[in-house]
Amino acid sequence: MQLKKIVIVGGGAAGWMSACLMAQQWRGDIAITLVESSAIGTVGVGEGSTPFLRDFFQTLNIPEDEWMPACNATYKCGIRFPGWSSREDFASYFHPFNTELDQSGAIQFFKDCYARRMGYDLTPVPDDYFAASAIAKMGRAPFARMSDGSVQVATDYGYHFDSHLLGEFLKQHAKRLGVVHIDDKVVDVKCTEAGGIDSVQLAQSGRLAGDFFVDCTGFKSLLMREALAVPFISCQDRLSNNAAVALPARYAEDKAQKSAQPQARFPTETIAQAMPYGWMWRIPLTQRWGNGYVFDRNYADFDQIEAQLREQLGSACDDFSARRIMWEPGRLQHHWEKNCIAIGLSQGFLEPLEAPMLRIIQFTCERFVELYQSDGLSGRAQQRFNQSVNQLIDGNIDYLQAHYLVSSRTDTAYWKTVQNNQVMSPELARLLRAWRSKESFDSVLSELSDALVYHKTSWYCLLAGKGEFNLPTKQAPASAHAPKQRLKEYNAKGAQNCLLTEGG
């Protein structure tokens, strides 16, 4: 079957990212219509991305100086994790986006992690080995000015941005690509005798038919879960967080930071700070901070969490109202059913840690485009699509759960419970056993490569950064500390050549 018309139901980041990618690929060949209701809000509260989002904008041929100012965006060199560990020397760590420039640092990091696992008294915190950590610490952008005056990328990077503004920006771009936009509310979904989607009934515009449908209706999952009855698989037993309070705050002058960074305007790191009943995100946008507290409703209620969050932020949040969000962590059993795919919250949600959702949205849409181009709407394409999307989500579940399993806070029942959770995938259990023993961790990573989403450096940063080591039993020779110190000094010197942040 040759597609002639695709109907995307729902807007927001998921809907408009999908519309842009599909229109970019099939402009003039397939008609694309997006229907959304302006009366229905989106969940977006400000976001951080991984470097994959750079590929998205490059695919659309949209330069940074066009979209970043429109979305209050800033650069992101990585994520800082304070408060997750109570182990000495591991109170906080920075998880970088690394590049080829970090090759020598990464190799030394892996060596020092191995030595510590073997019992030597070393402290391999990721901050000391990767250029991005020094760049972020100085509040600089991921671009270096070379001796000839040119500017080059110094380290891989992602972005921070306002997701509402991003959705609006992508809406206008999609419309320029020929996407038809209908502002209306879906009041009914009509199915064919074969069980697929025939059309959606709109409150004002009547019947809207299509060959293929994309469900971007958020947690409601109007097409996939309600109309097509695709089962939802909860992972609440592995990722217990199921709620968040989001609360913006204005920038407040930080005298200590101003002294250390007299010209830097915006931080280039996301903060994921452990709190008594979960963790708090801090995302620096050009106009304000985006903040939120992710937690498990079994241990605290919304009023308690908002009070803790406001106390943490101080008067900078006094002029803002908080948003309260609930979800059940998990995913659909499959993401392509009949003539419909789910993209975004309609296909499931895990939690905001490590900013996985945008990557899942982007991958899901790109994978569908790729498979339709090669295999059409065949059963083979559908099977490969569902398998790869589930693999991505399940790999993210493993990586997210590992953050909690190796944390060492014991100040509340929440932290004791998530650390002692015995429900995990065989792959994650295998990885943790290998790391905690003297087994070759690299061999196990290779053995499980088909099931893992995050690469070697990410796993090392997570486990070493949180101090997941036995107590040292051997004194490391003084010479063992020299390479780490030289790397730290080298990265700090290189960071001085990076541009001070000026926003998008």
At position 198, the amino acid (one-letter code) is: D
Residue 408: name the closest of 465, 350, 351, 472 by CA. 465
Structural element, H or E, at residue 398: helix 379-405
Question: Rounded to an integer, what distance in angstroms lies between the CA atom of residue 53 and that of residue 8?
Answer: 21
Q: Half-sphere exposure (CA, 13 Å, Cβ side) for 261?
A: 23
Tokens of 6: 């695709």
Longest dimension (CA), the chain: 77
Distances in whole angstroms, Cα of residue 252 to Cα of each of 246, 258, 274, 287: 18, 11, 22, 11
Q: Half-sphere exposure (CA, 13 Å, Cβ side) for 388?
A: 17
Q: Is 493 a catalytic site residue?
A: no
Given 4, 5, 76, 466, which residue is catalytic? 76
Question: Rounded to an integer, what distance in angstroms lies between the CA atom of residue 280 and that of residue 42?
Answer: 21
Question: Rounded to an integer, what distance in angstroms lies between the CA atom of residue 68 and that of residue 502?
Answer: 11
Q: How far apart are the first and last CA of the chain?
A: 43
Question: Residue with structure tokens 């996939």?
Answer: 224
Q: Which residues have a catalytic role annotated? A: 76
